Structure 1
Amino acid sequence: MKKGMFADSALLFVAFIWGATFVIVQKAIAYMPPHLFNSVRFFIAAVCLISIAIFIKRKVLYKMYSIKLVIAGVILGSFLFLGYAFQTVGLLYTTSSKAGFITGLSVMIVPFLSLWVIKEKPKVVVFAGAFLGCIGLYYLTIGDVQGLNGGDMLIFLCAIFFALHIVFTGKYSGQNDALSLTIVQLLTVSVLSFFSFLLFEKSEISSFKRLIHQDVIVALIITSFFATALAFLIQTKFQQFTTSAKVALIFAMEPVFAALTAFIVIEEKLSTSGIIGCLFIFTAMIVSEIPDKWLNKSLKSV
Structure 2
Amino acid sequence: MSKQLKSDIVLILVTMVWGSTFIIVKNAIQTLPVYNFLFIRFLLAFLLLAIIFHKKLKNIDNKTLAAASIIGTMLFLGYAFQTMGLKYTTASKSGFITGFSVVLVPILEAVLLKRKPTKPAIVGIVLAFMGLILLTTNIDFTVNIGDFLTLLCAFSFGMQIVLIAKYASTLDTYLLATIQIGIVALLSGIITLLFEKPLVPTSVDVWSAIVITGVFATAFAYVAQNTMQAYTTATHTALIFALEPVFAAIAAFLIAGEVMSFRAIIGGIFMFAGIVLSELSILLKN
Q: What range describes the TM-score normalised by the shorter chain of this pair?
A: over 0.9
Contact 1:106 1:162 in 2 (8 A): yes
1:290 CA drift (Å): 4.2
User: Aligned AA for 1:53?
Assistant: F
Shift in Å, 1:218: 1.1
Q: How much has 1:199 moved relative to structure 2?
A: 1.9
For the 8 Å contact 2:5–2:279, the answer to whether it is kept is: no
Q: Secondary structure at the match of 1:119?
A: coil
Cα pair 1:63 1:180 within 8 Å, conserved = no
Q: Which whole-Å CA distance do the structure 2 matches of 1:282 and 1:67 have between them?
A: 40
1:142 Cα deviation from its structure 2 partner? 1.7
Distance 1:285 1:108 in 2: 14
Alpha-carbon separation, structure 2, partners of 1:120 and 1:36: 38
Q: Give the alignment of 1:227-242 within 5 angstroms.
A: 227-242=217-232
Could you say which residue in structure 1 is the equivalent of 2:151?
Answer: 156
| Structure 1 residue runs of 4 or more that deviate by more than 6 Å after TM superposition | none
SS at match of 2:88: coil
Bigger Rg, which one: 1
The answer on 1:243 being equivalent to 2:233 is yes
Which residue in the other structure is 2:19 paired with?
19
User: Counterparts of 2:24 and 2:113 in 1: how far apart (Å)?
Assistant: 36
Q: Percent identity?
A: 42
State the shift of 1:144 in Å.
2.4
Is it true that 1:61 corresponds to 2:51 in the alignment? no
Query: Residue type of the partner of 1:274?
Result: A
Unpaired stretches in structure 2, ≥5 consecutive residues: none
1:131 lines up with 2:121 in the alignment? no
Deviations 1:144-170 (A, max 9, x none): 243222111111110000000000010
Answering whether residue 35 of structure 2 is matched by residue 8 of structure 1, we say: no
| Cα distance in structure 1, aligned partners of 2:280 and 2:45 | 36
Q: Is the 8 A contact 1:136 1:276 kept in 2?
A: yes
In the alignment of these two chains, the number of paired residues is 284
Cα deviation for residue 175 of structure 1 reads 1.3
Aligned partner of 2:190 in structure 1 is 195
* Alpha carbons 2:131, 2:270 under 8 Å: kept: yes
CA distance in 1, matches of 2:34, 2:205: 14
Aligned match of 1:102:
97
Runs of 5+ consecutive residues of structure 1 not aligned to the other structure? 295-302
Verify the 8 A CA contact 1:140 1:275 in the aligned structure 2. Answer: yes
For residue 273 of structure 1, the aligned residue among 263, 274, 283 is 263
Q: 1:297 matched to which residue of 2?
A: none
Aligned to 2:180: 185
SS at match of 2:141: coil
Structure 2 Cα separation of the partners of residues 159 and 175 of structure 1? 26
Cα distance in 1 for partners of 2:212, 2:277 equals: 33
- Offset from partner CA, 1:237-294 (integer Å, 9 cap, x none): 01010010000000011100000000010000000000010000011112223439x8
Deviation, structure 1 residue 178: 1.3
TM-score normalised by L of structure 1: 0.91
